Amino acid sequence: MTAEENSGISRNTTAKISCEKMEVSINVTQEGTVGISERVDNKLQIYPNPVQNEIFIKSDFQIERVEIYSITGALLKFDSNFKEKIPVSALPQGIYLLKVYTDKGLKVSKFVKQ
């Protein structure tokens, strides 16, 4: 079975798996996408990388919140009142994940703290 990119409409399918004395049916439903015509990736700028003190984020979309996670998945920083930059000077050197939530979707990026 293969998956394809959603074309914007809802769709579903049933997969049947059978062997000697058993048959299993699996129903899969994929909801259609609506209203997002531009990709968030192309409308966000995150810099510098590597970073020392502050990460700057510029977006054509409204930024709702920003989160920074350790590479192991621990939430380290949360900012629901984001204004242009986020301080990271208190973070130790390493690799981190930055999640930027906008009114049009989510972008996840890696950054290096020097």
- 61-98 residue pLDDT tens: 999 999 999 999 999 999 999 999 999 999 999 999 99
pLDDT for residue 57: 95
Q: What is the pLDDT of residue 23?
A: 82
How many residues make up the chain in this entry?
114
Residue 51, both tokens: 């970073």
pLDDT at 88: 96
- Assigned domain for 29 exists: no
Question: What is the predicted pLDDT for the residue at 1?
Answer: 52
How far apart, in whole angstroms, are the C-alpha atoms of residue 43 and residue 36? 12
- Number of separate domains in the chain: 1
Alpha-helix residue ranges (DSSP H) falling in 1-114: none
The answer as to whether 72 is a domain residue is yes
What per-residue confidence (pLDDT) applies to 53?
Answer: 97
Amino acid 4: pLDDT:
56
Q: Tell me if 35 is assigned to some domain.
A: no
Give the H or E element holding residue 64. Answer: strand 63-70
Is 63 contained in some domain? yes
Residue 45 included in any domain: yes
Round to whole Å and give the CA distance between 71 and 60: 27
Instruction: Tell me if 10 is assigned to some domain.
Output: no
Q: Domain of 109: which CATH number?
A: 2.60.40.1930
Query: Structural domain of residue 85, as residue ranges?
Result: 41-113
Query: Cβ(109)–Cβ(100) under 8 Å?
Result: yes
Tokens of 105: 């979707």
Strands 105-113, 75-79: parallel, antiparallel or unpaired by DSSP?
unpaired
| pLDDT value of residue 35 | 45
Q: Does residue 52 belong to any structural domain of this protein?
A: yes
Confirm whether 70 is domain-assigned: yes
pLDDT tens track for 6-57: 555 667 788 788 888 788 777 777 665 544 445 666 788 999 999 999 999 9
